[in-house]
Amino acid sequence: MSTTTGKAARAAEVQGGPGTSPSPGALPHDQRGRPGRQGRKASMGVQNAAGWLFSTPFLVLFTVFMAFPILATLLMSFTDFGLRNVTRPWDANFIGFENYVNLFSDEKFLKSLFNTAYFVVIGVPLTIALGLVVAVLLNNGIDRARTFFRVGFYAPVVTTIVAVAVVWRFVLDPSDGLIAGLFSEVGLTAPDFLGSETLAMPSMIAMAVWRNVGTVMVLFIAGLQAIPTEVREAAKLDGAGVWQEFRGITVPLLRPTVLYATVITTIGYLNVFEEPFVMTQGGPSDSTLTVSLNMYREGFNFFHMGYASAMAYVLFVVIMGITVLQLRLLKDNTK
Amino acid sequence: MTVGNAPGAVRTAPARKPRNLRRPLAYALLSLGLLIMSAPFLWMALSSFKTTSELSASPPVWIPTEWTLDNFRELLDKLNLPLYFMNSVIVAVLVTVSNLVFCSMLGYALAKLNFVGRNKIFGVVLGALMVPGNLMLLPLFVLMSKLQLIDSYAGLVLPFAAGAFGVFLMRQFMQSIPDELLEAARMDGAGEWYIFWRIVMPLVKPALATLSIFTFLGSWNNFVWPLIATNDPDKYTLPVALATFATDPNKAGGSNGMLMAGAFLVVLPVLILFIALQRHFTQGIATAGLK
């Protein structure tokens, strides 16, 4: 496997290296851009060599630690790659689409797929909506302490998710946690959030929203600041109220940012792993088992690596499909 | 933190026109939001100083009546945190330095050098931005086992030694450097390496700062790969050590107090770094549009 990619990379390098084949875009465009410079011809050869020398370290690392593993995952997904193959990869048997076929009759996998979809379908709109509200309040609602609030809302994004998940586990503890305290202040008993099949996933969504609102907020602040103030002023002169201004100007002009934020939040949430790993280990009764956690377990606890590879590719295809769909929406809307 | 802002809201309100109720309402909503955002951190910080009896009190005690460092002492007894801290620092520093060098090199080539294949390489970079990390984990583990790099710093660093995000960021910044400047240097006989190292790199210091912060934090907070690439507890990074401690089925991990103390020690450096450098964060996101 490694030789194939190695050859491909070398072939590409040979093709590109000496600069005999006409390049499709870069070269003629640049010559058009700078007419009448005779000295450039000599420097082109130098730039060709330099360009490839400067690219080589990245390309080597990329080939070995990214391109090769991506391809290898695909190949592994068609084999019965198991524990013994970690030392003897070539012994794995080709079994065609068996892993993929098995996946779709595997209740555990279907459940993890459902759980991930649940997490995304509820979590993404909540994150986007709250991020938008905070950004609008920060940008138009107040005149001081902006940095202070921005830092406060963004802080959860940068903190170590494992530590944060440990904290949230305790916050949600039904007997001595923070939420339990709030419940008892008003004379109620807190439910066992993470121990309940129906509440565990919503609790995890709450934590994810809490953690990611800051990212979306920053994107929206950048988007809001790109809206020219004249447009706002004009709307105000025409007698537009707060709500009319928001619906008529802010929302349409922010649409590209909304879709972009949706794309990256969706990708992040489809890969959700640390939260269930630390908070619930997928339980109770697999109610928080996500595709990524399921893949990790099949691959690294049970060493069903071929099977886990198939899972990784199914998730990848889902992510690509959804991203392409969302990007298409993005394109249509920016026109 | 949150309370301190309330007087500001009260002070500004009367100064505005009376019909404008927007501002006080916005301050109230934001303050409430900020209280919710900071509550888990406050809870973590307060709980790590509570005694065992106050930690398990039901209903919970909000503020410890008797502040104690026992949780930290006990945690440091059970968990070699200085070692994990050093592991995390070493890995994060190596990852950051290699990203700064390699991503800048390719960023320079893509932004300023005309060479055959440039567009294809840029296509590869953009493609790499979109591939989820999960897709690489299994073969990467097999590869690292074969290379005998499991439980080594090299094994933890190499897969992250040059990221597409960094290339993208550096290319964006370097494109704004005027070509005339580089042409002039070339006329004077400067080589490409000299131009890159002595002219371009000093000009993109803000971008290098942004990339350093993002890469360092990304490595510091990374969990899945270090979890897979280490079996020997002596090579654990902080998050792996904390997660292993927290999810130990034998409950050898122990009390919530120790876990809160652990989380506190893991989160604190990151929060300080973030608050000190927060301007770079928002700039970085606004420029590259990525987290």
pLDDT tens string B255-290: 788 999 999 999 999 999 888 888 777 666 666 554
CB B102 within 8 A of CB B161: yes
Q: Do A139 and A225 touch, CB atoms closer than 8 A?
A: yes
| A93, A128, A224, B207 from A133: Cα distances, Å | 54, 9, 12, 30
A173–B132: do the CB atoms touch at under 8 Å? Answer: no
Q: CB of B156 within 8 A of CB of B229?
A: yes
Q: How far apart are CA A109 and CA A98, in angstroms?
A: 15
Average pLDDT over residues B205-214: 90
Whether chain A has a CB inside 8 Å of the CB on B285: the answer is: yes
**Would you tell me which residues 52-81 of chain A have a C-beta closer than 8 angstroms to some C-beta of chain B?**
52-55, 57-59, 61-62, 64-66, 68-70, 72-73, 76, 81
Q: B28: which residues sit within 8 A by CB, 6+ positions away?
A: B9
Query: Residue holding tokens 């790659």?
Result: A81
| Amino acid letter, residue B171 | R
Q: Is B117 on the interface with A (CB under 8 A)?
A: yes
Separation between Cα atoms, residue B130 and residue A88, nearest integer Å = 31
Residues A201 and A220 sit within 8 Å (Cβ to Cβ): no
pLDDT digits (tens, 9 = 90+) for B20-77: 677 888 999 999 999 999 999 999 999 999 988 888 887 788 888 889 898 999 889 8
Answer whether B75's CB lies under 8 Å from B48's CB: no
B116–A150: do the CB atoms touch at under 8 Å? no
Residues 6+ apart with CB under 8 A from A298: A304, A305, A307, A308, A311
For residue A94, report the phi and psi dihedrals to the nearest 5 degrees.
Answer: -75, 125
Q: What crossing angle do the helices spanning A146-158 and B256-276 adopt, rounded to 10°?
A: 130
pLDDT in the model for residue B55: 84
> Any residues with CB less than 8 A from the CB of B111 and at least 6 apart, and which?
B170, B171, B174, B175, B177
Residue type, A286: D
Backbone angles phi, psi at A79, to 5 degrees: -125, 175
Which of A66, A265, A301, A305 to substitute to test the interface with B, most B CBs within 10 Å?
Answer: A66
The reported pLDDT for the residue numbered A43 is 61
Q: Contact B56/B47 with Cβ under 8 angstroms? A: no
Is the Cβ pair A47, B114 closer than 8 Å?
Answer: yes
Give long-range contacts, CB 8 A cutoff, 24+ apart: A99-105.
Answer: A99/A306, A99/A307, A99/A309, A99/A310, A100/A310, A100/A314, A102/A307, A103/A307, A103/A310, A103/A311, A103/A314
Q: Are the C-beta atoms of B171 and B107 separated by less than 8 Å?
A: yes
Residue B110 clears pLDDT 50, i.e. is over it:
yes
> What pLDDT does residue A14 have?
38
Mean pLDDT by runs of 10 across the 335 residues of chain A is 39 38 40 44 74 94 94 95 88 92 95 97 97 91 88 93 93 89 88 93 96 93 85 80 80 86 92 93 92 95 95 94 86 60
Residues of B with CB below 8 A from A149's CB? 5, 30, 34
- Does ipTM surpass 0.90 in this model? no
**Closest residue, chain A, to B55 (C-alpha):** A176
- At position A261, the amino acid (one-letter code) is A
For residue B121, give the nearest of B105, B138, B134 by alpha carbon. B105
Which residue, A331, A328, A323, A324, is CA-closest to A124? A323
Quote the pTM value.
0.84
CB contact under 8 A, A73 and B139: yes
Coil/strand/helix, residue B242 = helix
Asked if B95 is an interface residue toward chain A (Cβ–Cβ < 8 A), one would say no
- Say which residues have a Cβ less than 8 Å from residue A247's Cβ, sequence separation at least 6: none
**What does the pLDDT read at residue B3?**
39
Is A327 in the B-facing interface, judged by CB distances under 8 Å?
Answer: no
On whether any CB of chain A is under 8 Å from the CB of B26, the answer is: yes
pLDDT score at A232: 77
Q: In chain A, which residues have their Cβ closer than 8 Å to the Cβ of B251?
A: none
Alpha helices, DSSP H only, in A34-106?
40-62, 68-76, 98-103
pLDDT of residue B53: 83
Q: Give the pLDDT score at A47.
A: 82
Yes or no: say if A305 and A227 are a contact pair by the CB < 8 Å rule.
no
Q: Does B59 reach chain A within 8 Å, measured CB to CB?
A: yes
Q: Is A87 on the interface with B (CB under 8 A)?
A: yes
Quote the percentage of chain B above a pLDDT of 90: 63
Of A65, A175, A273, the CB nearest to B140: A65
In a mutational test of the A interface, the residue from B3, B11, B30, B250 whose CB has the highest number of chain A CBs within 10 Å is B30
Q: B219: which residues sit within 8 A by CB, 6+ positions away? A: B88, B91, B92, B95, B96, B160
B-chain residues near A236 (CB < 8 A): none
The residue in chain B having the minimum alpha-carbon distance to the alpha carbon of residue A46 is B192
What average pLDDT does range B142-152 have in this prediction? Answer: 94
Least confident residue range of A205-209, B229-233, B234-238, B246-250: B246-250
d(CA B62, CA B60): 6
Can you count the helices (H) and strands (E) in chain B? 17, 0
First to last CA, chain A: 43
* Res A91: pLDDT: 87
